[in-house]
């Protein structure tokens, strides 16, 4: 099963005073993947940048680096993409995956390129901590000998059930320990917390940024600009590869999720960040629209890629 989407992501900055110059890094172009084909992707920046560099970063994400060297009082970045997505994990039997201890042991002494690459995602990072309280929460899902995907889905379900979605409870700087203590937050918090749980158990886990198609209220049309960026988790399962789970919605990631980028945590894949000379305070407005579009009758398969 596959689906196609038109994604519009607009970011507006209005500065309290003139910015003399600025440098920015954007992660707003979806990745090309075995289960995701990017039909088109376009970035429009106003004012026009003095320099724009498109590159692939260390993790294989599409990055746009740009400079504004003329004075400006506002910045508008508009990212438009069309993407086809299929369910990456159809037919996957969680209980048939390897025991979680076997995956942990393999990552401690990697014997192949895929495991060696995954092993770098076992460690703490700026937004992800490893501590006894977080491990104590995680270990309830990781009984001895349990299949890793079965354990991960149980952990995902527990986070969904025990934590409350509350946009007012946290900010991007809220520590994961506080998220655990208060059991409240948003998708970024739940993704960081699950990554912390998995790494505390010695298992490789990545933070994934992207979009999720949401349903409008019954009887109401889908509104332009009413969606938002989303975040979820990818865990490494030996002999299977990377498997994505969404703790905010308690499910395996499927054809309603659009992948932008992945890294150790949010700091590696922030949709847009920058360094400014001047500007003082600013007002930020972000508008995201994910609109389904028709899937062509005959779709050329994406070009082969190495294992994620």
**Is residue 81's pLDDT more than 60?**
yes
pLDDT grade, residue 298 (50/70/90)? very low
- Determine how many CB atoms are found less than 10 A away from the CB of residue 109: 9
β-bridge partners, 23? 67, 275
Q: Residues 213, 292: contact at Cβ < 8 Å? A: yes
Mean pLDDT of 81-103: 93
Q: H or E element: which one contains 22? A: strand 2-26
At residue 115, the pLDDT reads 95
Mean pLDDT of the region 69-83: 97
Domain locations in the chain? Answer: 2-86+269-293, 94-265
Q: Please determine, for residue 224, whether its predicted confidence score (pLDDT) is greater than 70.
A: no
At residue 301, the pLDDT reads 44
- What average pLDDT does the structure give for the chain? 92
CA–CA separation, 120 and 125 (whole Å): 10
Fold for the domain defined by 94-265: C8orf32 fold (3.10.620)
Q: pTM for this structure?
A: 0.92
Residue 303, pLDDT score: 41
Residue 155 pLDDT > 50: yes
Sequential DSSP letters for 236-295: EETTTEEEEEETTTTEE--TTEEEEEEESSHHHH-SEEEEEEE--SEEEEEEEEEEEEPP
pLDDT digits (tens, 9 = 90+) for 7-60: 999 999 999 999 999 999 999 999 999 999 999 999 999 999 999 999 999 999
Q: What is the pLDDT of residue 279?
A: 80
Q: Cα separations (Å) of 261 from 24, 102, 177? A: 17, 28, 25
pLDDT at residue 1, as a whole number = 74
Q: How do strand 72-86 and strand 2-26 relate by DSSP bridges?
A: antiparallel
Mean pLDDT over 101-109 rounds to: 96
Largest CA distance in the chain: 61
Q: Evaluate whether 198 touches 235 at the Cβ level (below 8 Å).
A: yes
E strand segments, 69-155: 72-86
Angle, to 10 degrees, between the axis of helix 148-162 and the axis of helix 100-108? Answer: 110
What pLDDT is stored for residue 181 in this prediction?
97
- Where is 162: in which H helix or E strand? helix 148-162
- Give CA–CA dist 254/262, Å, rounded: 16
Instruction: Give the residue with greater pLDDT, 304 vs 150.
Output: 150
Pairing mode, strands 36-46 and 164-165: unpaired
| Tokens found for residue 157 | 């379900």
pLDDT for the residue numbered 222: 65
Give me the pLDDT at residue 225, please.
52
Annotate 28-91 with DSSP letters as a single string: -SPPPBTTEEEEEEEEEEESPPSEEEEEE-TTS-EEEEEEE-S-EEEEEEEEEEEEEEE-TTTT
Count Cα neighbours of 8 within 13 Å in the Cβ-side half-sphere: 11
Residue 82 has pLDDT above 80, yes or no: yes
For residue 188, pLDDT over 70 is answered with yes
CATH class name, domain 2-86+269-293: mainly beta
């Amino acid at each position: 099963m596959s689906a196609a989407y038109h994604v519009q992501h607009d970011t507006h900055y209005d500065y309290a005073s003139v910015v003399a110059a600025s440098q920015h890094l954007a992660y707003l172009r979806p990745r090309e993947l075995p289960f995701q084909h990017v039909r088109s992707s376009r970035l429009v920046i106003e004012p026009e940048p003095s320099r724009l560099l498109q590159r692939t970063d260390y993790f294989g994400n599409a990055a746009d680096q740009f400079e504004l060297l003329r004075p400006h009082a506002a910045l508008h970045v508009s990212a438009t993409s069309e993407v086809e997505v299929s369910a990456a994990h159809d037919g996957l039997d969680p209980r048939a995956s390897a025991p979680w201890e076997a995956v942990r042991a393999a990552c401690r002494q990697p014997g192949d390129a895929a495991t060696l690459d995954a092993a770098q995602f076992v460690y703490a990072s700026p937004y992800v901590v490893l501590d006894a309280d977080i491990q104590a929460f995680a270990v309830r899902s990781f009984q001895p000998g349990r299949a890793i995907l079965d354990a991960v889905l149980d952990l995902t379900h527990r986070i969904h059930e025990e934590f409350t979605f509350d946009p007012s409870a946290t900010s991007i700087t809220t520590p994961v320990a506080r998220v655990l203590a208060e059991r409240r937050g948003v998708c970024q918090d739940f993704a960081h917390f699950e990554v912390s749980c998995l790494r505390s158990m010695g298992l490789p886990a990545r933070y994934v940024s992207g979009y999720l198609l949401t349903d409008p209220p019954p009887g109401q049309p889908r509104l332009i600009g009413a969606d938002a960026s989303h975040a979820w988790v990818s865990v490494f399962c030996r002999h299977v590869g990377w498997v994505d789970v969404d703790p905010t919605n308690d499910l395996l990631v499927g054809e309603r999720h659009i992948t932008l980028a992945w890294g150790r945590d949010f700091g590696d894949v922030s949709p847009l960040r920058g360094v400014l000379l001047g500007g003082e305070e600013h007002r930020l407005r972000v508008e995201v629209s994910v609109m389904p579009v028709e899937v062509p009758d005959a779709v050329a398969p994406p070009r082969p890629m190495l294992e994620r």
